[in-house]
Structure 1
Amino acid sequence: MDWDYPQPFILAVTPQAGDIDGLNHTNNAVYVRWCEQAGWAHSDSLGLSLDDYRRLDRAMAIRRGEYDYLLPTFVGEALRLATWLVGGDGKLSMERRFQLVRDSDGATVLRGRWDLVCIELSSGRPRRMPAPFLDTYMPVIVGGPA
């Protein structure tokens, strides 16, 4: 695959009948849901789960999400959703990127990005990332496109 960045975390996804909208292709909201699933799965694979977020009273919340819907996908198509952490200030913010690729021809069908901010769950206010976040996330931030 021609990934935008090196060493992607990959989640395999396939549109199901319930994912298809009135235009007979995958509904845009499904892609957003898949990105959320990929973000959590990536975090879990690194060793930080939702339970850890709750225990630490911190979370990386989406401040801004952008999605470029490049090509349609259809029921039953095998797809791979890649994600990376591509930036972080080591204090409050990080950036996550996404690339969704169709297996059959390698075409990129979606690109997305999230600006994330660390919040205190109990108050919802921005707070510095705790040491476990820094120790887990900062070492896997990738540089520019491959």
Structure 2
Amino acid sequence: MTANTLAWDRPNPFTLALAPQAEDIDGLQHTNNAVYARWCEQAGWAHSQELGLSIDDYRRLDRGMAIRRGEYDYLLPTAEGEALLLGTWLQPGDSGAAMQRHFQLLRLSDGKTVLRARWDLVCIKLSSGRPKRLPPEFSAAYLSAMADQ
């Protein structure tokens, strides 16, 4: 199966290819739930960088998108070496300082969804930790990515 033929929850995901390694497998002989959270973080940063915003940009602007709430639905187990594809999308939030990032992890052998996750993100001033409106650079990068949803 290819990224284009998979049953994504939303169109045009940013994708990251993954495969659990031996150190990702827990005592129940499947991928540990903490690994999925780490993969979501990796996909979120990779998508942000593709959109033109890196951690250096966050520091320069004294702004960042912080996770206010994370929700993970672990639907099916995965095993060492399985080919997986993690998709992510941005969606509007409930204010001018917020947005959502959604995730869907698919197993390539059968196209089944093994994880769905959502983060509620809020823009903060890094130096104070207080919520702030999205700076123009964030709006240009992130809001334009939402237009494709």
**Is the CA contact 2:123–2:134 (under 8 Å) kept in the aligned structure 1?**
yes
Shift of 1:89: 5.2
Shift of 1:90: 6.5
Task: Give the match's secondary structure for 1:129.
Answer: coil
For 1:134 and 1:90, how far apart are their aligned partners in 2? 13
Work out which of the residue numbers 76, 84, 91 in structure 2 matches 1:86.
Answer: 91
* Dislocated runs of 4+, deviation >6 Å: none
**Closer/same/farther in 2, CA of residues 143 and 132 from structure 1, 3 Å limit:** closer
- How many residue pairs were aligned? 144
Once the two structures are superposed, the pairs formed by residues 115-134 of structure 1 within 5 Å of their partners are 115-134=120-139
Q: Does 1:31 align with 2:36?
A: yes
- In the alignment, structure 2 segments of 5+ residues that lack a partner are 1-5
Shift of 1:88: 3.5
Q: Who is 1:105 aligned against?
A: 110
- TM superposition score normalised by structure 2: 0.93
Work out which of the residue numbers 60, 73, 76 in structure 2 matches 1:68.
Answer: 73
- TM superposition score normalised by structure 1: 0.95
Greater mean deviation of Cα atoms: 21-30 or 134-143: 134-143
For 2:10 and 2:111, how far apart are their aligned partners in 1? 15
Q: Who is 2:26 aligned against?
A: 21
Work out which of the residue numbers 121, 127, 137 in structure 1 matches 2:142.
Answer: 137
For 1:116 and 1:56, how far apart are their aligned partners in 2? 17
For 1:136 and 1:78, how far apart are their aligned partners in 2? 30
Q: Which amino acid aligns with 1:47?
A: G
For 1:72 and 1:44, how far apart are their aligned partners in 2? 29
Aligned-residue CA RMSD in angstroms? 1.3
Task: Give the match's secondary structure for 2:78.
Answer: coil
**Which whole-Å deviations, capped at 9, do the CAs of 1:17-55 have from their partners, x for residues lacking one?**
000000000000000000000000000001000100000
